[in-house]
Chain A
Amino acid sequence: MAKLSSLSRKYIMAFSGLFLILFLTQHMTINLLSVVDSLRLNVFGAEESNLFNQAAYFMGNNPVVQFALQPVLIAGFMIHMVMAFVLQAKNAAARPDGYQYGNKARAYNWASMNMLITGGVVIGFLGLHFYDFWIPEITAKYVTGKAHIGDGPATEAILADVNRFYPELVHRMKYPWRVAIYCGSFVLLGLHLNHGFQSSFQTTGVSQGKYVEGIKKASTAFAVIVPLMFIVVALVHFFIS
């Protein structure tokens, strides 16, 4: 395989990052449906609200999502993560001897200088998130054939129940330590996104002239809104659901 140039590695980071940003937007949208459900059920007194259940069931059972998009998502995430470590190793090799006084160069923000730290926290958070939702779901569907809600027994009937997703989400969000970890991780995700979003447009060469300021503002808006919405989801289910 031909050796990748420094810019090619950056393109891989940028395009995989933009792909993950799209996924994040879609994930946030579906999660917000659970907030709508919670408000309808607990605040406005609706007897039934299954928006989140329907969306989650579709995502969990649609063959295109499961067998085409999900592997692409996992590959995109792995590529983004592995390339981050490759770049870090190459960058460290580019300055074998550091400054005695430390590098005090003016930089735009803390996030831009610490993407590996914020990204590492996101990876750690994903470990918990997978433990909470993805691994039990995959195990139930493809290994045991039985699902459970909360601490209840695993049965085939629950696995077939279209409306099992919302109660499981609410159950997971009843623990303060978990909500605290989720919220803290989303703050660091926001910092990661704030630099990553605009950086991907810089790397792909879109960030030029009249677009520069707009992209920076859009990046900040995205980095605030998306993690904030995820925090809202966790807090609504903790306090209201």
Chain B
Amino acid sequence: MKLTLHVWRQKDAQTQGKMVDYTLDNVSEDMSFLEMMDVLNQQIIEGGDEPIAFDHDCREGICGMCSMVINGQPHGPQQGTTTCQLHMRSFKDGDSIYIEPFRAKGFPVVRDLMVDRSAFDRIIQSGGFVSVGTGAAPDGNAIPIRKEEADEAFNAATCIGCGACVASCKNASAMLFVSAKIAQLDRLPQGKVESKERVRSMVAQMDEEGFGNCTNTGACSAECPKGISLENIARMNRLYLQSSVSPT
């Protein structure tokens, strides 16, 4: 395949960036998107320029490090897939592909396609954990949990914190991520104890980071590589309302 790539290049957080065009030939449809980026970088390095900086780690769709907005969609056109698991067979010869960083006030661009997602870390630090002693694994197994609750908690826990929800939301809202963490812990007896304090703290930190408000378009869930459900947002909304009426 021969592709025309329009890639966002930005030297650092303080410098204004711009789209730069590249032509890449002999792209195999069996390559992953990130492998294609590696080949492009090799071509750029051989041409004497600085390679494109982009986030990646496991390349197995688990770590949530890869980002990129590809032709206007976080993680590209294939639903339920991270960028690293997206393959070039999703494109065809002669395609033009626009590759941009996630855009949000809460995710400032560090360089090229890399954004600073430490806002998510600070949200987790504000309450996305269980601070009471829960014992060892056998103690956890001693508490019966309904199968449906366990399944839903697990579904929420599959959020890899990549930030595609923020990137896709027209309001750059982080509510799908925050609600997944809140709902996951709220569905389990060990986490439920601190649910009210947790939801207040995490929502306050989310607001502090400058993310937008949810307008229930559903884009976050549709673009989420793990298919995190919007019902988590409804659960967070209900918890916050309960917590506002009855704080303890």
Contacts and interface: CB of A to CB of B under 8 A. Distances in A.
Interface in B195-231: 203-204, 206-207, 210-219, 222-223, 230-231
Contacts of B19: 100
A112 B212 contact: no
B103 interface: yes
Contacts of A29: none
B235 A105 contact: no
B234 A95 contact: no
Interface stretch (A48-56, A62-70, A183-191, A205-213): A205-213
Contacts, number: 146
B229 to A, nearest CB: 9
B239 A101 contact: no
A9 B103 contact: no
B170 interface: yes
A87 B213 contact: yes
Contacts of A212: 231
B215 A112 contact: yes
B118 to A, nearest CB: 17
Contacts of B219: 105-108
A59 to B, nearest CB: 33
B100 interface: yes
7 contacts: A6-B214, A91-B173, A94-B104, A100-B19, A101-B98, A105-B72, A202-B230
Interface of B: 6, 8, 19, 69, 71-74, 79, 98, 100, 103-106, 167-173, 175, 203-204, 206-207, 210-219, 222-223, 230-231, 233-241, 244
10 tightest A-B contacts by CB?
A: A205-B238, A104-B72, A94-B212, A105-B168, A91-B171, A101-B98, A106-B222, A94-B172, A105-B219, A91-B212
